[in-house]
């Protein structure tokens, strides 16, 4: 019998902190239910004191899911803990995650404090949180760069104060795997009462070592890992859930396993990527489009002779089913509903009818409809409340001619038209939009992604536009890449605060 490793998913907290990845409450509930089906043990649902939206999401997620523990983040501040406890009131199993920076640089520059005072603040936060809940997790922020001897004193003090889980974040992604593993082992060996708490890893990927560090922590005694779907998270991201789960499934001799239903990994990845508008890099381990694609002749020859020659994971084990029914213009509502269900999306009959209509329109334009297409269509009504909408777009472009775009926008019911020339069709179309929306805005980033393979594919466009000192993130998806670009640009403008 393997030893159990608890999966603490922070997609909805550390993952959602990424600019442009923000979800509304309905979308968060959808992800939380999928995480429950995936088999995670703990869902970090938000940082309730940070905004009314986060507070509300923790409440609604607590009502919506049954099995996983719902966790809310706080600083070591009483007000944060009061608000977190209130937000968790409907959770069947609840945990408060409180903590403070423990590295010398955090103590000096962030808190202008001393090591002793930080221990006192940590202890009193844990004691205060224990007045509300039995399950209190303590994080020692920047533990990766905290001196081990001092870290052990902090951890010993918070366990005495009632912490049930102690989180050792490598906040800056600085540690080497053996260094991080040695840190966990140091705590196992030197903290009195360490057996009364679960040690948790929380690794960031700034140097590409998050998963390696996490596994090193587990091999040295950690029994909870903090992870996100697709490894999304601040800067270079967090440890990817799918990587840890599959490493343990592949290396059975470690005798450590999780409760993850690995066949739900791929649908969960698609859902999170689609809702958060965060493309998965094609060569991403486990869930990238190329993760199981063998292109070199030598590899293809080997795989055809025996799949084990070059494949250590059966794609079906992570939910990638090449034989899945391909949806086409002849597919009925039931087939679409089934595919949505496999992808973790449930919807009312009314919404299904609307999605089916959009599905047929897309199926008229392209032969095979992929999972990514379906996720885009299923999320298409996210923009229905936008006050600026693209009504039509016509573009002329080619080699040796200047591109010309003319378009119509509907702004709160009123119709506007403009035409412009530009250095390429996207430039022309955006200049036409700017003739109508006369604001000082600058396009900062523009990413185009074809979501699977064919030339008839839906293209996704992500944009960042700076306006009034703030960055806004927009998304568009269309088989016409110029239209997708204009939609993404308009999506940004619709989000302007004034
Ligand atoms: O990276 C980090 O240190 C964190 C803590 C708030 C747990 O996300
Ligand atoms: Zn973090």
Write down the H helix ranges in 238-329. Answer: 241-250, 265-275, 297-305
Cα separation, 7 vs 69, whole angstroms = 11
391, pLDDT greater than 80: yes
219, pLDDT greater than 90: yes
245, pLDDT greater than 90: yes
- Dist. CA 204 → ligand 2 center (Å): 6
323, pLDDT greater than 60: no
Maximum mean pLDDT: which of 86-90, 271-275, 332-336, 374-378: 86-90
Q: Is 489 in the pocket of ligand 1 (CB under 6 A)?
A: no
Per-residue pLDDT reduced to its tens digit, 13-40: 999 988 888 898 989 999 999 999 999 9
Cβ-contact 235, 204 below 8 angstroms = yes
Region 95-112 average pLDDT: 97
Region 236-262 average pLDDT: 97
Buried b (16+ CB within 10 A) or exposed e, 357-393: ebbeebbeebeebbbbbbbbbbbeebbeebebbbeeb
Cα separation, 144 vs 155, whole angstroms = 14
Tally Cβ neighbours within 10 Å of residue 296.
9
Structure confidence at residue 302 (pLDDT) = 73
Cα separation, 161 vs 454, whole angstroms = 59
Structure confidence at residue 178 (pLDDT) = 98
Task: Tell me the C-alpha to C-alpha distance, in Å, between residue 369 and each of 325, 362, 459, 485.
Answer: 10, 8, 13, 21
312, pLDDT greater than 90: no
- The residue with greater pLDDT, 344 or 94, is 94
Structure confidence at residue 382 (pLDDT) = 58
Per-residue pLDDT reduced to its tens digit, 180-198: 999 999 999 999 999 999 9
Protein residue whose Cα sits closest to atom 2 of ligand 1: 171
Per-residue pLDDT reduced to its tens digit, 334-374: 888 888 887 778 888 998 999 999 899 888 887 778 777 88
- Dist. CA 10 → ligand 1 center (Å): 10
Per-residue pLDDT reduced to its tens digit, 255-264: 999 999 999 9
Q: Is 171 in the pocket of ligand 1 (CB under 6 A)?
A: yes
451, pLDDT greater than 60: no
128: tokens are 């205060």
| Rounded to 5°, angle at Cα 13 from 8 and 19 | 140
- Dist. CA 403 → ligand 1 center (Å): 48
**What percentage of residues in the chain have a pLDDT greater than 70?**
94
If pLDDT is split at 50, 70 and 90, which confidence band does 279 have?
confident
- Dist. CA 15 → ligand 2 center (Å): 9
Q: Is 139 in the pocket of ligand 1 (CB under 6 A)?
A: yes
Per-residue pLDDT reduced to its tens digit, 403-444: 999 999 999 999 999 999 999 999 999 999 999 999 999 998
Structure confidence at residue 381 (pLDDT) = 58
Instruction: Tell me phi and psi for residue 227, to 5 degrees.
Output: -140, 165
Cα separation, 448 vs 487, whole angstroms = 12
Q: Which of 137, 135, 132, 134 is nearest to 122 (CA)?
A: 137
Q: Is 75 in the pocket of ligand 1 (CB under 6 A)?
A: no
* Alpha-carbon 18 to chain mean position: 8
Cα separation, 198 vs 164, whole angstroms = 6
Maximum mean pLDDT: which of 210-224, 262-276, 283-297, 381-395: 210-224
- Dist. CA 174 → ligand 2 center (Å): 13
Cα separation, 181 vs 224, whole angstroms = 14
Protein residue whose Cα sits closest to atom 5 of ligand 1: 141
242, pLDDT greater than 70: yes
322, pLDDT greater than 70: no
pTM recorded for the entire structure: 0.81
Buried b (16+ CB within 10 A) or exposed e, 115-134: eeebbebbbebbebbbebbe
Region 103-126 average pLDDT: 97
Q: Is 14 in the pocket of ligand 1 (CB under 6 A)?
A: yes
């Amino acid at each position: 019998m393997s030893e159990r490793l608890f999966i603490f998913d922070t997609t909805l907290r550390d993952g959602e902190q990424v600019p442009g990845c923000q979800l509304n409450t309905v979308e968060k509930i959808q992800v939380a239910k999928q995480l429950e089906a995936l088999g995670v043990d703990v869902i970090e649902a938000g940082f309730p004191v940070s905004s009314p939206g986060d507070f509300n999401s923790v409440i609604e997620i607590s009502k919506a899911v049954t099995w996983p523990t719902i966790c809310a983040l706080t600083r070591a501040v009483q007000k944060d803990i009061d608000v977190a406890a209130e937000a968790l009131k409907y959770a069947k199993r609840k945990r408060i995650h409180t903590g403070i920076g423990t590295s010398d640089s955090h103590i000096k520059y962030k808190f202008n404090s001393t090591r002793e005072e930080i221990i006192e603040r940590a202890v009193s936060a844990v004691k205060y949180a224990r007045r509300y809940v039995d399950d209190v997790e303590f994080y020692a922020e920047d533990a990766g760069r905290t001196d081990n001897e001092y870290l052990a004193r902090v951890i010993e003090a918070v366990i005495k104060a009632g912490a049930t889980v102690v989180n050792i974040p490598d906040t800056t992604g600085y540690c080497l795997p053996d260094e991080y593993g040695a840190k966990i082992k140091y705590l196992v060996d030197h903290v009195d009462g360490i057996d009364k708490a679960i040690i948790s890893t929380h690794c960031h990927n700034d140097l590409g070592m998050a998963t390696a560090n996490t596994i090193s922590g587990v091999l040295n005694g950690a029994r909870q890992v903090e992870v996100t779907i697709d490894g999304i998270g601040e800067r270079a991201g967090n440890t990817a859930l799918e990587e840890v789960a599959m490493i343990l499934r592949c290396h059975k001799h470690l005798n450590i396993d999780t409760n993850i239903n690995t066949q739900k990994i791929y649908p969960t990845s698609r859902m999170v990527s689609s809702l958060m508008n965060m493309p998965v890099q094609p060569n991403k381990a486990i869930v990238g489009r190329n993760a199981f694609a063998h292109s070199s002749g030598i590899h293809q020859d080997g795989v055809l002779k025996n799949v084990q020659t070059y494949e250590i994971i059966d794609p079906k084990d992570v939910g990638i089913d090449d034989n899945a029914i391909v949806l086409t213009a002849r597919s009925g509502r039931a087939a679409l509903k089934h595919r949505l269900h496999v992808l973790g999306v449930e919807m009312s009959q009314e919404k299904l009818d609307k999605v089916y209509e959009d599905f047929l329109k897309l199926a008229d334009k392209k032969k095979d409809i992929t999972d990514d297409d379906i996720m885009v269509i299923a999320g298409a009504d996210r923009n229905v409340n936008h006050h600026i909408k693209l009504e039509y777009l016509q573009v002329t472009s080619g080699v040796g001619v200047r591109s010309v775009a003319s378009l119509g926008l509907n702004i709160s019911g009123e119709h506007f038209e403009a035409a412009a020339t530009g250095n390429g069709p996207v430039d022309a179309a955006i200049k036409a939009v700017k003739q109508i929306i006369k604001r000082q805005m600058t396009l900062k980033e523009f990413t185009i992604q074809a979501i699977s393979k064919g030339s008839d594919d839906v293209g996704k466009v992500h944009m960042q536009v700076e306006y009034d000192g703030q960055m806004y993130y927009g998304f568009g998806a269309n088989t016409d890449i110029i239209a997708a670009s204009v939609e993404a640009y308009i999506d940004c403008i619709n989000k302007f605060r004034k």
